[in-house]
Structure 1
Amino acid sequence: MNFIKSTFIIAAAMSAASAYAQVDRTFAFVDKDGKEIENGSTVIANQVHTIKEGNYSYEEISSDVYVKNLTTDEWGVGVTVTLDKLDNGAAQCCFPTQCLPDWGEVVGGTVKTDAGIMKADETKSLQTEWFPEKDGEAEATVKINVYKVTTNKIGLPVYKELNVNGPSITIHFIKSANGISSVNTSTTAKAIAYYTADGKRISAPQKGLNIVKMSDGRTVKMVK
């Protein structure tokens, strides 16, 4: 009898854990071509752009990641961003409506953005960039937060955060001579194969989106 009771408790606990781990499907991360980025993925960003503003110029590496409303309804959305690594420079996140002040300068810093509204089937840029001062790496973990939107007496939106498990990805920024020397995110994993977005194997990364298979079994996306 005790065995049956214990088995029931274990099964119930496993079922609850599975339900909790299920990723909410209100929003998803997508790439610039609209292809969904799987929850838990690592996106490699290494395309360096030089931005000129008058006599001043700086370098920027954009994540090229977007957020899409997968539903036929209007929802509120925001993100929780954690800076996991910063060799130099500063990082920035401006999703969905505001830039986070001082977030991208302290490793370990976690900030939740204010919510904004996204319409049905709408896609918005995540606007998360690294501004390197020299070669190195930066890394950020981004998780989507979902909000129910109502209006107050004067018609302004009111956001109530829902207790759901939104998707999360890691963005790994790289600035180096070849752009791929630090593609692995651990000290032992190495890139062992490269594929195009449609699954064709290639000998080396090509311009655009590449799928990289790592020696530790992970598959990551790299934009060159």
Structure 2
Amino acid sequence: MANAQVDNTLQFVDENGNVVNDGSTIEGKLEYVDDGFQQYYQISTGLYVKNNADTNTGTGVDITISSIDNGIVNCCFPSNCISLSKAGEYQTGNYYLTANEIKAFATEWIPQDYGTCSATFKLKVMNMKEEEIFGAPIVTYEFKAYGPSVTVNFTYDKNSTGINDITENDKKISAYYTLDGKEIKEPQKGINIVKYANGKTTKVVVK
């Protein structure tokens, strides 16, 4: 609904911590990926999600892909990754952010050819309930309210890959990490976080 109240417990922020207002439209950021096995370009949202609460907050994301010329949209927030290749409405699984945590939104379009993609991401604030099933603690999530949304326009064209866009420093890898932040010596099967010498990070999938 147009007049629905937005819950700002969770907010999108940029790499400098500035709030990205609800309903904003932004342009994706070109990133070069060289994981030692393959090299390609991806267009990242460049976003992070901030938990403004002093307690853990459950979250999920509703995704609406309005157009996608080719390739896939990868969303690895808040936890497990989903890969989407067609226009439509989708939702991620649920997880949580710890008190006052700022977490990378970890979402990008990986094109197979020149083209564009446009997608809207709406945060969801979830109530968390811990219970035991057969003696094991289980966390369940229940929808509470919608948080802010942002539309990202991804563009990959001849101008995107000019020599001035990607420097040698951008390509130099300084470290590999697992999704939970543990440093590893080389990429492992599944999702890996790659950190470059210029401080940028990105995700790569090793099959």
Q: TM-score, normalised by structure 1?
A: 0.65
In structure 1, the residue matched to 2:106 is: 127
Give the AA of the match of 1:142: F
Partner Cα distance (2:112, 2:137) in 1 = 45
Secondary structure of the corresponding residue to residue 134 of structure 1: coil
Which residues of 2 match residues 25-174 of structure 1 at below 5 A?
25-54=8-37, 56-101=38-83, 104-108=84-88, 110-153=89-132, 154-162=136-144, 164-174=145-155
Q: How far has the Cα of 1:22 moved from its partner?
A: 2.1
Residue segments in structure 2 that go unaligned for 5+ positions in a row: 161-207
Shift of 1:71: 1.3
Which residue identity lines up with residue 152 of structure 2 in the other structure?
A: I
Q: 1:127 deviation in Å?
A: 1.0
Listed as ranges, the gaps of 5+ residues in structure 1 are: 1-16, 180-224
Alignment length (residue pairs): 157
Question: Over alpha carbons, which structure has the higher Rg?
Answer: 1
List 4+ stretches of structure 1 deviating above 4 A: none
Q: What is the DSSP-based 3-state SS (H/G/I as helix, E as strand, rest coil) of the residue aligned with 1:35?
A: coil
1:51 is displaced (CA, Å) by 2.9
> Normalized per residue, which structure has more helix?
1
Structure 1 or 2: larger strand share? 2
Q: Percent identical across equivalent pairs?
A: 33
